[in-house]
């Protein structure tokens, strides 16, 4: 018996998700993509579809698929921040009205909603395209997937759905399903990517203001017209401002970059073939989508550059402040050293005077002691005795003081620090 890793079946199952059923013309597809809060994005938040009173929706939490009735199928999937519900209906099925009402009642804010009509060939598609009344200057039409052809203006219709017409032109149902799904994913990821454009535009003026403040601080630092503490406070406030801009945009702009890569991958996989007189999917993407993504990238890049420049300027200012502090410390140490030297010289002077005073008292003591020798009949030449005793006493006092000082310094030097 194999002992599976706890995630093995989830990993393998992930590779089989998001596959559409076989698509054969004629067919109508309705797809709704929503942004949902985390607590409302699971399958348990989907209301039941109850034709005849029987609930038909049940399953896992990230992907559901099944039949809602005769000639009516559905798939539901949960992405990282969005959910996608797709209905596959044969033309004229009576359940399409209730199914659309069920689909439109689900929680979340709609990012994209599309109605796709798939027919057999160009001849069948042309009357449908004419009836939609596309503006000839805006219609996008090209061949995809090796033969199928699409028509759309990628605008929102009166019912809130974008409209896409697809002519299968003999494409195998598997290949047709892949091509139409890739077109839908391209559009879904495009809209999700463009959610970052208003965010980027909204922060551009704040970045301009922060850039100007940073330039002024650099000028102040160069010219020295403000104190270091004042400039450091201003830099700290600016760094917080740039950081708040980054916090407000980092997730959305990061998601925009990821979705933009997916759009490019889907576009390359479709290999749109241009048709004379029509804009292709590639033309439509390059006209507005690419500049929008460049704007988002510019905002993200500029925010990072401002943060780096602010950090560099802060480091430079802190280095200057630390240098000033070191210079002050050096001057303080020099002053302390000079004071210590003066104190030492004064101490030597005091020691010399102390030696003289001690010698004076020692000689006076000798004079008093020898003064009593006359009473015992000992004749002493006091002048000679004091003349000899004075230098000897001074020398003894000097040597004793010096030895005591040397011993004190030696003990202090050997003390642990």
pLDDT value at 414 more than 70:
no
pLDDT at 374: 66
The yes-or-no verdict on residue 35 having pLDDT over 80 is: yes
CB 142 within 8 A of CB 274: yes
Across 323-332, average pLDDT: 86
Q: Look at residue 3 in the predicted model and tell me its pLDDT.
A: 76
Start-to-end Cα distance in the chain:
70
Task: Give the pLDDT confidence score for residue 66 in this predicted structure.
Answer: 82
Reported as half-sphere exposure (CB side, CA atoms, 13 A), residue 14 has a value of 7
Residue positions counted in the chain: 417
Token pair 């002048």 in the structure block, residue: 383
Handedness of CA 298, 303, 307, 310 (dihedral sign): positive
Per residue in 48-68, pLDDT (tens digit) is 776 644 444 444 567 788 888
Contacts of 162 (CB under 8 A, 6+ apart): 112, 113, 114, 115, 152, 154, 155, 156, 187
Question: Both tokens of residue 326?
Answer: 């070191």
> SS3 for 31?
strand
Helices (H) and strands (E) in the chain, counts: 9, 9
> In this structure, how many other beta carbons lie within 10 angstroms of the beta carbon of residue 152?
23
85 Cβ contact list (under 8 Å, min separation 6): 31, 32, 34, 74, 75, 76, 103, 106
As beta bridge partners, residue 309 has: none
For residue range 298-323, what is the model confidence (pLDDT) as tens digits?
999 999 999 898 888 888 888 888 88
- Which pair of tokens denotes residue 302? 């500029």
* pLDDT for the residue 314: 84
Q: 143-175: per-residue pLDDT in tens?
A: 998 889 999 999 998 889 999 999 999 999 999
Distance (Å, whole) CA 153 – CA 139? 4
User: Exposed (0-12), middle (13-18) or buried (19+): which is 211, by Cβ within 10 Å?
Assistant: middle
Residue 334 predicted with pLDDT over 70: yes
**pTM of this structure:** 0.74
Q: Is the pLDDT of residue 417 over 60?
A: no
Cα separation, 189 vs 18, in Å, equals 14
Q: At 43, is the pLDDT very low, low, confident or very high (cuts 50, 70, 90)?
A: low
Q: Determine contact, residues 61/43, Cβ cutoff 8 Å.
A: yes
Give tens-digit pLDDT for 221-259. 778 777 778 888 888 888 888 888 888 888 999 999 999
Query: Mind listing the pLDDT tens digit for each residue in 359-383?
Result: 777 777 777 777 666 666 666 676 7
Taking alpha carbons only, the member of 154, 113, 114, 130 closest to residue 281 is 154
| Dist. CA 384–CA 363, nearest whole Å | 12
What's the average model confidence in pLDDT over 3-22?
70
Are the CB atoms for 163 and 132 separated by under 8 Å?
yes
Sequence-distant (6+) residues with CB within 8 A of 167 are 118, 119, 120, 121, 122, 124, 125, 148, 149, 150
Our CA dihedral for 350, 355, 361, 362, rounded to 10 degrees, sits at 160
What does the pLDDT read at residue 53?
42
C-alpha span between 127 and 143 (Å, rounded): 18
Instruction: Give the Å distances, CA to CA, from 99 to 33, 118, 269, 296, 303.
Output: 16, 19, 32, 38, 46
Residue 142 has pLDDT above 90, yes or no: yes
Pairwise pLDDT comparison (9 vs 160), residue with the higher score: 160
């Amino acid at each position: 018996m194999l002992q599976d890793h706890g995630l093995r079946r989830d990993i393998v199952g992930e590779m089989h998700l998001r596959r559409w059923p076989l698509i054969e013309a004629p067919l109508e597809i309705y797809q709704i993509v929503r942004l949902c809060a985390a607590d409302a994005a699971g399958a348990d938040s989907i209301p039941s579809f109850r034709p005849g009173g029987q609930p038909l929706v049940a399953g896992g939490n990230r992907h559901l698929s099944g039949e809602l009735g005769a000639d009516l199928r559905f798939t539901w999937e949960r992405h990282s921040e969005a959910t996608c519900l797709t209905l596959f209906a044969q033309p004229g099925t009576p359940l399409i009205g209730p199914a659309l009402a069920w689909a439109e009642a689900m929680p979340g804010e709609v990012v994209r909603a599309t109605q796709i009509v798939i027919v057999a060939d160009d001849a069948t598609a042309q009357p449908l395209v004419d009836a939609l009344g596309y503006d000839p200057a805006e219609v996008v039409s090209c061949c995809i997937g090796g033969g199928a052809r699409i028509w759309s203006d990628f605008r929102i219709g009166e019912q809130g759905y974008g409209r896409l017409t697809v002519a299968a032109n003999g494409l195998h149902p598997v290949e047709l399903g892949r091509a139409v799904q890739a077109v839908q994913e391209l559009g879904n990821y495009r809209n999700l990517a463009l959610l970052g454009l208003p965010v980027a535009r909204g922060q551009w003026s704040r970045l301009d203001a922060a850039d100007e403040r940073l330039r002024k601080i650099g000028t102040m630092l160069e010219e020295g017209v403000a104190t270091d503490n004042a400039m450091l406070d201003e830099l700290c406030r600016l760094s917080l401002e740039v950081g708040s801009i980054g916090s407000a945009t980092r997730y959305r702009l990061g998601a925009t970059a990821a979705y933009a890569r997916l759009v490019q991958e889907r576009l390359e996989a479709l290999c749109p073939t241009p048709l004379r007189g029509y804009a292709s999917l590639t033309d439509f993407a390059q006209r507005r989508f690419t500049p929008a993504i460049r704007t988002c990238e510019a905002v993200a890049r500029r925010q990072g550059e401002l943060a780096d420049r602010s950090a560099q300027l802060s480091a430079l200012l802190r280095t200057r402040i630390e240098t000033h502090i070191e210079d002050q410390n050096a001057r303080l140490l020099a002053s302390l050293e000079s004071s210590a030297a003066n104190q030492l010289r004064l101490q030597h002077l005091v020691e010399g005077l102390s030696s003289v005073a001690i010698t004076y008292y020692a000689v006076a003591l000798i004079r008093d002691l020898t003064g009593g020798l006359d009473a015992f009949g000992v004749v002493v030449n006091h002048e000679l005795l004091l003349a000899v005793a004075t230098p000897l006493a001074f020398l003894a006092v000097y040597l004793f003081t010096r030895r005591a000082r040397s011993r004190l310094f030696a003990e202090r030097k050997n003390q642990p620090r």
